[in-house]
Amino acid sequence: MKFATYRYHGRTQGTQASRHPAPDDRRRQRPAGRPRPVPHKTRATLHGNVFMTQPKTISLAIDGPIATITLERPERRNSVNAQLTRELSAAVQACEANPQVAVTILTGSGSSFCAGMDLAAFADGETEAILHGKGRFAGFVGVRRTKPVIAAVNGPAMAGGFELVLACDMAVAADTAIFGLPEAKRGLIAGAGGVFRLANRLPIALVNEIILIGAPIDAARACALGLINRVVPAADVMATARDMAGKVAASAPMSVALGLDLARSAASGDESALWSLNDDYLNRTTGSKDAQEGARAFLEKRPPAWRGE
């Protein structure tokens, strides 16, 4: 089965319509309806007088009605910086706009799903772009989608990585995966919807344990708590996610979209008030001295010295 692979760098690629060639046009014609792959590119930025390139941070592959978005920063455990935020937002919007796509799988490359916000990027001043741009954190957690997204959790999903999972509609996890919200240990809060989405699904005592202590839970416990759908061997994560996606794609698109919206509304009600409170507390913590200390301590591999301000 053939894939059309897309690379996103601030723009999306649509479907190319076929044209009848002139008699002397010997160029190979692309069949009608087949998406044109975007060539592999890098983003050029100027550092002093030297142009540097930034490799892609996500990839998008479309196979029939199933799209797969892969986070491509394995050397940083797929942590989220401003560039990944822009590219993930573009890919999600492309899937929403593409009538061929019925369902999307979100996964990570390497041994991690996602380690959350890149604290080095946070320390470098990318906070606004990562947390408060279109779609909120990673350009994803606040997007109102009409098509389901299945998380294929290939490894640890910590902090914002766990919040990405909670923002998805279903999840398959490797038996080696772990989940957690350790933000309080960094002088932050889980401000990408994680706190109120957990509170909608779990008893408050369990929510408090997860967000205040910050200890991770394993995939088996996450499944028992109803936070994910399946736990499988790591080698079977993508196959299981694709099997689920194929069954979703076999259903009527309007029924899927309306059923998804109704289920979300019943589970969470009106999230606007919760997002408002979330944003207030998030801004208070990200702008605090403790948040800066937490990031420095993490990067310097030492215990933080909290000041309560």
* Residues annotated catalytic, as ranges: 163, 183
SS3 content of the chain, % helix, strand, coil (to 5): 40, 20, 40
d(CA 13, CA 19): 18
Handedness of CA 153, 200, 265, 139 (dihedral sign): negative
Handedness of CA 278, 280, 281, 287 (dihedral sign): positive
Contact 18, 30 (CB under 8 A): yes
Q: Is 225 exposed, middle or buried (0-12, 13-18, 19+ CB in 10 A)?
A: middle
Sheet holding 217-218, edge to edge: 157-158, 178-180, 217-218
> Regarding beta strands 217-218 and 178-180, do their DSSP bridges make them parallel or antiparallel, or are they unpaired?
antiparallel
